[in-house]
Amino acid sequence: MATSIRLIRRYIWLIDTIRRAGSITLQEINRKWAYNTSLNIDNEDEIPERTFHRHREAIAELFDIEIGCNRFDGNKYYIKNEEVFDKPSFTTWLFNGLSIDNQMLENREVSERIIFAETPGGHEFLSPIIESLSKNRIVSIIYKRFTASASKEWLVEPALLKQSNRRWYLIGRIKGCDSLTVFALDRIQKLDITDQSYEPENLENIKTQLSEVIGVNIDDDFDCETVVVRVYGKQRAYIDSLPLHFSQRVKDKTADFTDYEFTIRPEYEFQRAILSLGPDAEILSPQWLREEIKWLAEEILKRYNLIK
């Protein structure tokens, strides 16, 4: 295993060990390290104190995770900024993935008992897109839409990356166009960073538009408005634990149903999310959306030859 990979794995193990303990002394850390046969391949009795502090500095630099020391409680180490793990970011995504990978390395037989969801491709384009974002460089992409019969080359000014429904999306402006376009990374066939520069978008404006939808479909045909959805029975527990949108709030509640209010653009993805709840959800307002969901439900029944 390359030295750099071994170090990264050690950093992840160290973060995970301290985080799971809450607070822990260096002696206790070393006892755990001595028994780790998968990562401690040199059979070290301990992590030397100076090495440990270098690891702390590297962890802060690489992952923005601060390991503090409580001098008044037996020199116990703890994670100073636990809130970093609650933020959706590359750091938490990377840490969680590597932490699981460490566990599987230590318990190889367990890997057969863990099933991962398959995700579409396109991950190889993440790195060059991030580079283009950092250098404000236009990218040339060869892209095939689901609805197109052939691929097409575009020059794109990247604005941001967003993950939604197991897919990564590049949101940017096609050179010469006024509106933003969304590209699914798994539909990109080739991507190159050009030497052409561009003026970055106003991120706050784009984030505001994205905050009005539940996915990446910024559809100007829909206005951001108040939507009230009535959810029945046990389905409410799922909606409470995993809100459809961050604006979701309880407007009314009875023993049989809960009315949820959203401030959202009720476009394609939101409508399909409501339909996925089946008979347990009902649009109360606006009336046009209620009629739209009713029409979609009738179209579904037609597919099953239940109505003509």
- Would you give per-residue pLDDT tens digits along the chain (308 residues)? 444 777 888 888 999 899 989 999 999 999 999 888 777 777 888 888 999 999 999 999 888 889 999 999 889 999 998 888 877 776 677 777 777 777 776 666 666 777 777 778 888 898 899 899 989 999 999 999 888 889 999 999 999 999 888 889 999 999 988 888 999 999 999 999 999 999 988 888 888 889 999 988 888 889 999 999 999 999 999 999 999 999 999 999 999 999 999 999 999 999 999 999 999 999 999 999 999 999 999 999 999 887 76
Contact assessment for residue 174 and residue 159, using Cβ atoms and an 8 Å cutoff: no
Residue 117, both tokens: 């969801």
List the beta strands (DSSP E) in 80-224: 137-143, 152-164, 167-174, 180-184, 188-197
* pLDDT of amino acid 2: 43
In 3D, which of 202, 209, 222 has the Cα closest to residue 182? Answer: 209
Site of tokens 């992840």: 12
- In whole angstroms, give the CA distance from residue 25 to residue 34: 14
pLDDT score for 260? 98
Alpha-carbon distance of 67 to 75, in angstroms, equals 12
Indicate the pTM of the whole model. Answer: 0.73
Instruction: Report which residue type is found at 202.
Output: N
- pLDDT for position 143: 93
